[in-house]
Amino acid sequence: MSEQLVLFIGARGSLFDELSGCIDDEGLGGLAHVSTPSGISRNRLVDAEAVIIGPDITGRGCVQLCREIRSLSGASITVISSELNEVEELRLVASGATFVSFQPIRPRVIAARLAAQITRHAPEGSGEAVSYHGLEAFPDEYRVTFAGEPLELTKTEFELLILFMRHPRQVHTHDSLSRWLWDDNSDVDHHRLEAHVSRLRRKVAQVGGPAIISSIRGVGYRLMTADQLAETVTRYSREPRDA
Protein backbone atom coordinates (compact mmCIF):
# COMPACT_ATOMS: atom_id res chain seq x y z
CA MET A 1 0.00 0.00 0.00
CA SER A 2 1.67 3.22 -1.16
CA GLU A 3 -0.79 5.69 0.38
CA GLN A 4 0.24 6.89 3.83
CA LEU A 5 -2.84 6.63 6.05
CA VAL A 6 -1.23 7.83 9.29
CA LEU A 7 0.18 11.31 9.90
CA PHE A 8 2.78 12.10 12.57
CA ILE A 9 2.99 15.70 13.81
CA GLY A 10 6.11 16.60 15.76
CA ALA A 11 9.89 16.41 15.79
CA ARG A 12 11.41 13.70 13.65
CA GLY A 13 13.76 11.35 15.54
CA SER A 14 14.11 7.82 16.84
CA LEU A 15 10.49 7.81 18.08
CA PHE A 16 9.23 8.61 14.58
CA ASP A 17 11.50 5.98 13.02
CA GLU A 18 10.28 3.24 15.38
CA LEU A 19 6.62 4.11 14.81
CA SER A 20 7.10 4.38 11.05
CA GLY A 21 8.58 0.90 10.81
CA CYS A 22 5.82 -0.69 12.91
CA ILE A 23 3.06 1.12 11.01
CA ASP A 24 4.58 0.02 7.71
CA ASP A 25 4.64 -3.58 9.00
CA GLU A 26 0.88 -3.29 9.65
CA GLY A 27 0.32 -2.47 5.96
CA LEU A 28 -0.66 1.15 6.56
CA GLY A 29 1.82 2.61 4.08
CA GLY A 30 4.34 4.00 6.53
CA LEU A 31 4.10 7.26 8.43
CA ALA A 32 3.70 10.70 6.87
CA HIS A 33 5.44 13.53 8.73
CA VAL A 34 4.88 17.22 9.47
CA SER A 35 7.18 18.99 11.95
CA THR A 36 4.78 21.60 13.30
CA PRO A 37 1.00 22.18 13.32
CA SER A 38 1.48 25.35 11.25
CA GLY A 39 2.86 23.26 8.39
CA ILE A 40 -0.26 21.14 7.93
CA SER A 41 -2.80 21.76 5.19
CA ARG A 42 -6.49 21.22 5.93
CA ASN A 43 -6.68 18.65 3.13
CA ARG A 44 -3.92 16.60 4.73
CA LEU A 45 -5.80 16.50 8.02
CA VAL A 46 -9.05 15.57 6.29
CA ASP A 47 -7.42 12.74 4.32
CA ALA A 48 -5.59 11.17 7.28
CA GLU A 49 -7.12 8.02 8.76
CA ALA A 50 -5.17 8.53 11.96
CA VAL A 51 -2.97 11.22 13.49
CA ILE A 52 -0.15 10.81 16.04
CA ILE A 53 0.90 13.93 17.97
CA GLY A 54 4.48 13.79 19.22
CA PRO A 55 5.60 14.59 22.79
CA ASP A 56 7.16 17.92 21.79
CA ILE A 57 3.69 19.39 21.16
CA THR A 58 2.30 20.10 24.60
CA GLY A 59 -0.12 22.22 26.61
CA ARG A 60 -2.58 24.50 24.84
CA GLY A 61 -0.94 23.84 21.48
CA CYS A 62 -1.76 20.14 21.73
CA VAL A 63 -5.33 20.82 22.90
CA GLN A 64 -5.94 23.26 20.04
CA LEU A 65 -4.48 20.82 17.51
CA CYS A 66 -6.79 18.03 18.73
CA ARG A 67 -9.77 20.35 18.38
CA GLU A 68 -8.78 21.37 14.86
CA ILE A 69 -8.33 17.77 13.71
CA ARG A 70 -11.62 16.72 15.31
CA SER A 71 -13.51 19.59 13.65
CA LEU A 72 -12.37 18.36 10.24
CA SER A 73 -12.59 14.58 10.46
CA GLY A 74 -13.27 11.47 12.49
CA ALA A 75 -9.63 10.39 12.35
CA SER A 76 -8.15 8.57 15.33
CA ILE A 77 -5.90 10.90 17.37
CA THR A 78 -3.08 9.44 19.48
CA VAL A 79 -1.24 11.87 21.76
CA ILE A 80 2.20 10.81 23.00
CA SER A 81 3.21 12.52 26.22
CA SER A 82 6.07 12.42 28.71
CA GLU A 83 3.87 13.32 31.66
CA LEU A 84 0.33 14.59 32.27
CA ASN A 85 -1.81 15.01 35.34
CA GLU A 86 -5.41 13.78 35.34
CA VAL A 87 -6.91 17.18 34.50
CA GLU A 88 -4.57 17.63 31.53
CA GLU A 89 -5.35 14.17 30.20
CA LEU A 90 -9.11 14.73 30.54
CA ARG A 91 -8.76 18.05 28.72
CA LEU A 92 -7.12 16.27 25.78
CA VAL A 93 -9.84 13.62 25.68
CA ALA A 94 -12.53 16.33 25.77
CA SER A 95 -10.76 18.04 22.85
CA GLY A 96 -10.97 14.94 20.68
CA ALA A 97 -7.96 12.78 21.57
CA THR A 98 -8.70 9.09 21.07
CA PHE A 99 -5.72 7.69 22.99
CA VAL A 100 -3.06 9.16 25.27
CA SER A 101 0.15 7.10 25.37
CA PHE A 102 2.89 7.83 27.88
CA GLN A 103 6.58 7.43 27.24
CA PRO A 104 8.24 5.03 26.97
CA ILE A 105 5.73 3.96 24.35
CA ARG A 106 5.20 0.58 22.75
CA PRO A 107 5.33 1.32 18.99
CA ARG A 108 4.06 -2.09 17.93
CA VAL A 109 1.01 -1.78 20.20
CA ILE A 110 0.19 1.70 18.85
CA ALA A 111 0.56 0.48 15.25
CA ALA A 112 -1.61 -2.60 15.83
CA ARG A 113 -4.30 -0.50 17.52
CA LEU A 114 -4.39 1.97 14.62
CA ALA A 115 -4.51 -0.85 12.05
CA ALA A 116 -7.47 -2.45 13.84
CA GLN A 117 -9.33 0.85 14.04
CA ILE A 118 -8.72 1.82 10.42
CA THR A 119 -9.85 -1.62 9.21
CA ARG A 120 -12.98 -1.42 11.37
CA HIS A 121 -13.95 1.92 9.86
CA ALA A 122 -13.40 0.97 6.22
CA PRO A 123 -16.61 1.62 4.23
CA GLU A 124 -18.82 -1.45 4.44
CA GLY A 125 -19.32 -3.44 1.26
CA SER A 126 -16.01 -2.20 -0.20
CA GLY A 127 -15.70 -3.08 -3.86
CA GLU A 128 -19.40 -2.80 -4.71
CA ALA A 129 -20.66 0.40 -6.28
CA VAL A 130 -24.00 1.62 -4.94
CA SER A 131 -26.47 4.06 -6.50
CA TYR A 132 -29.49 6.03 -5.33
CA HIS A 133 -31.54 8.44 -7.48
CA GLY A 134 -28.68 9.55 -9.69
CA LEU A 135 -25.93 9.34 -7.05
CA GLU A 136 -23.25 6.70 -7.60
CA ALA A 137 -20.68 5.80 -4.96
CA PHE A 138 -17.56 3.69 -5.48
CA PRO A 139 -16.21 2.60 -2.06
CA ASP A 140 -12.87 1.23 -3.26
CA GLU A 141 -12.07 4.52 -4.98
CA TYR A 142 -13.58 6.84 -2.36
CA ARG A 143 -15.45 8.46 -5.25
CA VAL A 144 -19.02 9.75 -5.61
CA THR A 145 -20.71 11.21 -8.69
CA PHE A 146 -24.10 12.65 -9.56
CA ALA A 147 -25.00 12.45 -13.26
CA GLY A 148 -21.28 12.00 -13.92
CA GLU A 149 -20.34 15.11 -11.91
CA PRO A 150 -17.84 14.33 -9.10
CA LEU A 151 -18.51 15.30 -5.47
CA GLU A 152 -15.59 16.37 -3.30
CA LEU A 153 -16.37 14.75 0.06
CA THR A 154 -14.36 14.37 3.24
CA LYS A 155 -13.78 10.87 4.62
CA THR A 156 -16.55 11.31 7.22
CA GLU A 157 -19.04 12.66 4.65
CA PHE A 158 -18.24 9.77 2.31
CA GLU A 159 -18.74 7.15 5.03
CA LEU A 160 -22.05 8.71 6.05
CA LEU A 161 -23.30 8.71 2.47
CA ILE A 162 -22.27 5.08 1.93
CA LEU A 163 -24.08 4.05 5.12
CA PHE A 164 -27.28 5.86 4.11
CA MET A 165 -27.19 4.52 0.54
CA ARG A 166 -26.62 0.90 1.65
CA HIS A 167 -29.53 1.08 4.13
CA PRO A 168 -32.09 3.33 2.38
CA ARG A 169 -35.08 2.29 4.50
CA GLN A 170 -33.37 2.42 7.88
CA VAL A 171 -33.75 5.26 10.36
CA HIS A 172 -30.31 6.06 11.78
CA THR A 173 -30.47 7.59 15.25
CA HIS A 174 -28.13 10.37 16.37
CA ASP A 175 -26.58 8.02 18.93
CA SER A 176 -25.99 5.12 16.53
CA LEU A 177 -24.46 7.35 13.86
CA SER A 178 -22.15 9.06 16.35
CA ARG A 179 -20.99 5.76 17.81
CA TRP A 180 -20.45 4.31 14.33
CA LEU A 181 -18.32 7.27 13.24
CA TRP A 182 -16.51 7.99 16.51
CA ASP A 183 -16.69 4.91 18.70
CA ASP A 184 -13.78 6.27 20.73
CA ASN A 185 -16.03 8.97 22.19
CA SER A 186 -18.71 7.95 24.69
CA ASP A 187 -20.24 11.45 24.73
CA VAL A 188 -22.55 11.80 21.74
CA ASP A 189 -22.15 15.20 20.09
CA HIS A 190 -25.26 15.80 17.99
CA HIS A 191 -24.03 19.21 16.81
CA ARG A 192 -20.88 17.67 15.40
CA LEU A 193 -22.92 15.05 13.53
CA GLU A 194 -25.37 17.71 12.35
CA ALA A 195 -22.51 19.73 10.84
CA HIS A 196 -21.28 16.75 8.80
CA VAL A 197 -24.80 15.91 7.53
CA SER A 198 -25.39 19.57 6.64
CA ARG A 199 -22.17 19.78 4.63
CA LEU A 200 -22.98 16.51 2.87
CA ARG A 201 -26.42 17.79 1.87
CA ARG A 202 -24.94 21.05 0.60
CA LYS A 203 -22.31 19.30 -1.53
CA VAL A 204 -24.91 17.02 -3.13
CA ALA A 205 -27.08 20.07 -3.90
CA GLN A 206 -24.14 21.97 -5.41
CA VAL A 207 -23.87 19.45 -8.26
CA GLY A 208 -27.62 19.44 -8.84
CA GLY A 209 -28.39 16.38 -6.76
CA PRO A 210 -31.57 15.85 -4.71
CA ALA A 211 -31.92 16.65 -1.00
CA ILE A 212 -31.78 12.94 -0.23
CA ILE A 213 -31.23 13.02 3.55
CA SER A 214 -34.33 13.55 5.62
CA SER A 215 -34.22 14.69 9.27
CA ILE A 216 -36.48 12.98 11.79
CA ARG A 217 -36.83 15.51 14.58
CA GLY A 218 -35.44 14.31 17.89
CA VAL A 219 -34.46 10.92 16.43
CA GLY A 220 -31.93 11.05 13.60
CA TYR A 221 -31.77 10.74 9.81
CA ARG A 222 -32.78 8.52 6.91
CA LEU A 223 -32.76 8.67 3.13
CA MET A 224 -35.83 10.20 1.56
CA THR A 225 -38.18 7.71 -0.04
CA ALA A 226 -38.98 7.91 -3.75
CA ASP A 227 -42.36 9.49 -2.88
CA GLN A 228 -40.70 12.12 -0.68
CA LEU A 229 -38.22 12.98 -3.41
CA ALA A 230 -40.99 13.27 -5.98
CA GLU A 231 -42.99 15.51 -3.64
CA THR A 232 -39.94 17.72 -3.09
CA VAL A 233 -39.34 18.09 -6.83
CA THR A 234 -43.04 18.80 -7.47
CA ARG A 235 -43.21 21.40 -4.70
CA TYR A 236 -40.07 23.11 -6.01
CA SER A 237 -41.42 23.19 -9.58
CA ARG A 238 -44.57 24.96 -8.37
CA GLU A 239 -42.70 27.70 -6.54
CA PRO A 240 -42.77 31.05 -8.39
CA ARG A 241 -39.51 31.90 -10.16
CA ASP A 242 -37.95 35.37 -10.19
CA ALA A 243 -38.53 37.17 -13.45
pTM: 0.53
Q: Which domains does the chain have, with CATH numbers?
A: 6-120 (3.40.50.2300), 154-238 (1.10.10.10)
Indicate the SS3 state at residue 107: helix
| Single-letter amino acid, residue 45 | L
Given this model, what pLDDT does residue 234 score? 40
Higher per-residue confidence, 193 vs 242: 193
Which of 17-26, 90-99, 226-235 has the least mean pLDDT? 226-235
18 by Cβ neighbours in 10 Å (0-12 / 13-18 / 19+) ranks as middle
> What are the CB-based long-range contacts (under 8 Å, 24+) for 163-166?
163/124, 164/212, 164/213, 164/221, 164/222, 164/223, 165/130, 165/131, 165/132, 165/135, 165/137, 165/223, 166/124, 166/125, 166/130
pLDDT confidence bin for 129, thresholds 50/70/90: confident
CA distance to 16, 78, 105, 124, per residue, from 96 (Å):
22, 10, 20, 24
Residue ranges with strand state E in 147-228: 149-151, 172-173, 213-216, 220-223
The 6-9 sheet, strands edge to edge: 31-34, 6-9, 50-53, 76-81, 99-102
**In angstroms, rounded to a whole number, what is the distance separating the alpha carbons of residues 220 and 243?**
38
Which residues, in sequence order, are bridge partners of residue 216? Answer: 220
